[in-house]
A and B are shown apart, each in its own frame.
Chain A
Amino acid sequence: MASKAELDNFYEQAKGAVESASDLRALDQVRVEFLGKKGQITSVLKTLGQLPADERKLVGQAANEVRRRLEGAISAKQTELSRADVEERLATEAVDITLPGRRTAHGSQHLISQVIKEITGIFIGLGYRVAEGPEVEIDYFNFKALNQPPDHPARSLQDTFYIKKESVHPADDDILLRTHTSPVQIRVMKEQEPPVYIIAPGKAFRRDVPDPSHLPMFHQVEGLAVDEGITFGDLKGTLEAFTKQMFGKKRKIRLRPHFFPFTEPSAEVDVSCAVCDGKGCRLCGSGWLEILGAGMVDPNVLMEVGYDPEKVSGFAFGMGVERIALLMHGVPDLRMFIENDMRFVKQF
């Protein structure tokens, strides 16, 4: 027979079992034992009918109260145990985060290509198209059309690679490896009317024995703008825009008069040294680093391609990519660009 006292005792007993349940399974057993269909509280409730009516109500209420409290205790214990469970799982799943990450193999673009891409990218932004031309050229495009006099030393066998003529009736014009990317200018202008805004990256060849500061093959980027009313001021502004993007906003440029056969007026262009900010240091000496040659397209060149120098004018510039790469990345020896040592290539 159930009594209030018995119920209280039962509750204490059950609560003790809940408290001591060590995991969710044990807790569930406790629940079944005390609250299940065949559980103890159910048997108490089943005997209610045998009690007198007044007592029946009291005991019934008490039994329900015990059940409610017990359910609350189990539920609280359940929450507690599941948290412990999650935490245990997290603890066992932990990894050594200092192990190296899994990576897929990756390739590196050659530094020279990267620099060319950067330079052309800047000029594309300024409205230039990219033009290309052959590495094997004829004298006409490489020298003559560029106003280079016939006896100019650059044309000598000492400085320019010439191709052996193999055909039975060789043409008059010499065939050679282009000594700069400037012949692309001529090819483009001969093909189209102004306006012309092009940038021409590519390989060029000079008959230099490879050493730390010379290579028989190197890369140049040539630029050309021909349009109505192009001025020397436009050349300066364009080169300033380029320099600031390429070398940084604080860089200044300086133009020094120079002589090139295909431009007039001509200039050599220096950028202020990033290390000393133009004050002079061990890298630059004077505070300035020479980066390119430039000038207004010579009227003879414009006439050669059939443009009227009284109607259009233009500027051209050319820079050595290896030199720029060397200045930007501290490469001590130009030959590193052509050796393709993976320990070099993969650094950039």
Chain B
Amino acid sequence: MLVPLSWLKEYIDFELSVDELVDQLNLSGTAVESVRFMGKGLDYVRIGQLLEVEPHPDADKLSVTKVDIGQAEPLQIVCGAKNIKPGDKVPVALVGATLPNGIEIKAAKLRGVTSRGMLCSQIELRLGTDAAGIYILPEDVEVGALFTEALGLDDVVVDLEITPNRPDCLAMIGVAREVRAITGNELRKPAVSVKEGTGKAEDAATIVIDDLELCPRYAARIIKGVKVGPSPAWMEQRLQKAGMRPINNIVDITNLVMLETGQPLHAFDLKTLKEGKIIVRRAKPGEKITTLDGVERELDRNMLVIADSDVPVALAGVMGGAETEVTDATVDILLESAYFEPDSIMRTARKMGLLSEASARFEKGVDPNGAVYAADRAAQLIAEYAGGEVLAGVIDVYPEKIEPRTLQLRTDRVNGILGTTLSLPEITDILEKLELKVSVIDGTDNMSVSVPTFRPDLEREIDLIEEVARIFGYNNIESTLPESSGKQGGLSHRQKTVESIKARLLASGLSEIITYSLIDPREVDKLQVPEGDPLRWFVKLMNPLSEELSVLRTTLLVNLLKVLKYNVNREQYDVQVFEVGHIFWHENGKEMPDEEAMLGIALTGAWQADEWHEKARNIDFFDLKGAVEAVLDEIGVTGWSLRQFAHPVLHPGKSAELLIGDEPIGYFGELHPDVLAAFDMPTAYVGELNMDKLIDNAIVSRELIEIPKHPAITLDIAVLVADTVAQEKLIELIEAEGKPLLEQAKLFDLYTGKGVPDGKKSMAYTMVFRASERTLTDEETLDARDRIIARLNKELGAEIRM
């Protein structure tokens, strides 16, 4: 809502500076979006009158003009616009001007003709959107005058963000009322007195409301014998400053009064209404109307229309029809001032994609009891500026008056919600400044508050409390903290576990990423996922922005790979990342999509680039496995195992499924070469684990394992085994046979090559032996070692290698 302060001051005086006013409005709930000082950049623009307009001798599209700017000699200015003729008054930017759009005006030769200035369009002066031609000014402006003074542009316009609950503030008077609540100054509503003629309005037109639910009130004034023409300069300026385009005096007055009172008005050319009839009804199936914007629109039963005896002539509250529009030939007018049911207007406007100034107000709720005031105000202005005779009486169909609402307000409730200690008179004073009528209920601190119909937002006691709060000032309310024993801050076991997993991965060198929960289903094709696979049980958006973000992710892999790729494309080859996020899927027949938290890991490149002390090493399967082991270790998962995992996404020989007990938790491995090719990646290691299942198996608290008191004996062995033997087999046998003295066994060397026969590998283990209650002897330790060697030999054919 654009509010020129010069206009606002018609209704209220205030001594606040612009900054103070902006502050006070902001702090009382009327947000100021921007402030515009209109005259800025227009100091060198004067009013000129065209004396001559001649074609340029060497350029078809240019004209050479002589312009009187009130000085002895007219200026010669070359101009490209076509809409000018001798006699027109136009804004002239003089040499030396810097216009609001940054253009500097200099004397110049255009195709050999000297030009000393520029004739300006509205857009060049930042006054409107009309860039089509030179801004032709009203005839009554004074030649040579400063443009800003002549057009009253020495003004400040504030742009207010009006929240949807405050339709009353979509009007100058409404904004003035807010200023009144801030300053306590008196509000001046324009007094209206309509000079009525002898003819009766009732005889000139009839009004029938067919659907009282959608149109509780329809009032009209009839004005006969008007002369349609341009509005006076002051009126055009006012409308322009408020962001509206002047059309003609009749339309301008309806707009002016709408901006003033908040009541949208519509003027029909009375002669085009068949039988002089207005019928407010729902559209019939198949009916059509061509609206003022020239678009033919199909109507339906849910839309309210204004019809004459025959066809719809306006889309009620949204836009008028082209057929009944006021034109230069119009003589008699029917001026509509109605109250339409807000929701119906909103639905129609949305359905038609037509958001007009009128619909914006009707859909939020105008004052049903302000209709006649606005009609009278407009009729009076029309008589004054367009001539004609206002017929006697207002045709006002309003069978069921909408009465002001009465609400109860308790002083202790106000203070209980706000934490204030306001007295009853203080509360009353605030409400009365907002034009609410307050009566104290005898013998109590409670009030009965009558809410005027221009405030449809005040429906409950809490709404009144908000009014008290915002006018008292939020920042005048004392700050406190809740005093409660009910506060026990902290993280749940689940949340702590997630945090510790993240912390461990970060410490292991992986960075966290966050990606969209939405993916492109075509990316899942790239993963070579077969038809019917759960990764294709997509949850689809009904209204996606694009195919790229059209389904919810069924796996974290897609985005992990995209992030690797994004970085590799930018020469960031070493990328190690994880993401904790949700995946979603739609199981057939189930109404709600399923949603589960997952941990995704993706690694490529090397952990670190070449260093002076160490060369870079490319990440492989065991780096990925190490990251997974670190997670399991961090949250104390025991009893986990791996098994071969067959999925087209992964390399069959370098992938594994993780189980805890018998339950699959997730998988990890190197990407299948086909998938790598599809994503155009050299290599990548990925994993995806179910977060909830990990958390279910996480240890809640750890108990101390006693620190050994007796010394250990450490022995190493190296054995040769067939290279098909899994390491896990060896360690299982070593541990089984070494019990109970063997505390720990660990592979420390794996070797094939020179000295080792083909088809064999050398595995070296370091073994720590200890007895918890005594010092071990060498004999029993060596004995245990020999038993282990014998067992390995017996079961795996392992040969000891010394």
Contacts and interface: CB of A to CB of B under 8 A. Distances in A.
Interface string A144-180: 0000000100001100011111111111000101000
A197 to B, nearest CB: 5
Given A130-B491, A197-B487, A258-B31, A105 B509 contact: yes
B63 to A, nearest CB: 42
Interface string B443-487: 000000000000000001011011001100011011111101011
Interface string B332-369: 00000000000100110010000000000000000000
B591 A161 contact: no
Task: Indicate the size class of the contact surface on chain A.
Answer: 35 or more
B517 interface: yes
Interface string A211-251: 00000110100000101111111101110110000000000
A106 B566 CA distance: 20
B402 interface: no
A52 to B, nearest CB: 67
A297 to B, nearest CB: 10
Interface stretch (A56-64, A67-75, A340-348): A340-348
A341 to B, nearest CB: 6
B417 A313 contact: yes
Contact of A234 (B27, B474, B481, B541): B481
A151 B345 CA distance: 11
Given A102-B613, A166-B586, A237 B480 contact: yes
B766 interface: no
B592 interface: yes
A124 B502 CA distance: 19
Contacts of B163: 258-259
Q: Which DSSP category, helix, strand, loop or mixed, fits chain B's interface?
A: loop
A163 B567 CA distance: 32
B489 A340 contact: no
B511 A136 contact: no
A107 B166 CA distance: 50
Contacts of B463: 264
A296 interface: yes
Interface string B25-55: 0111101000000000000000000000000
Contacts of B495: 130, 132
Contacts of B470: 257, 265
Contact of A265 (B346, B465, B511): B465
A340 B474 contact: no
Interface stretch (B543-551, B648-656, B676-684, B756-764): B543-551
Given A106-B509, A167-B590, A234 B487 contact: no
A267 B474 contact: yes
Contacts of A130: 491-492, 495
B490 interface: yes
Given A128-B487, A134-B595, A236-B479, A258 B544 contact: no
B419 interface: yes
Contact of B420 (A103, A151, A233, A338): A233
24 contacts: A102-B613, A104-B509, A106-B506, A106-B507, A107-B506, A109-B506, A113-B512, A113-B514, A124-B489, A128-B489, A130-B492, A163-B593, A164-B542, A197-B486, A205-B517, A232-B474, A233-B477, A256-B31, A257-B28, A265-B465, A265-B469, A265-B470, A342-B511, A345-B512
Interface of B: 26-29, 31, 163-166, 343, 346-347, 350, 416-420, 460, 462-463, 465-466, 469-470, 474-475, 477-482, 484, 486-492, 495, 502, 505-518, 539-545, 549, 552, 563, 566-567, 570, 572, 575-578, 582, 584, 586, 588-593, 595, 607-608, 611-614
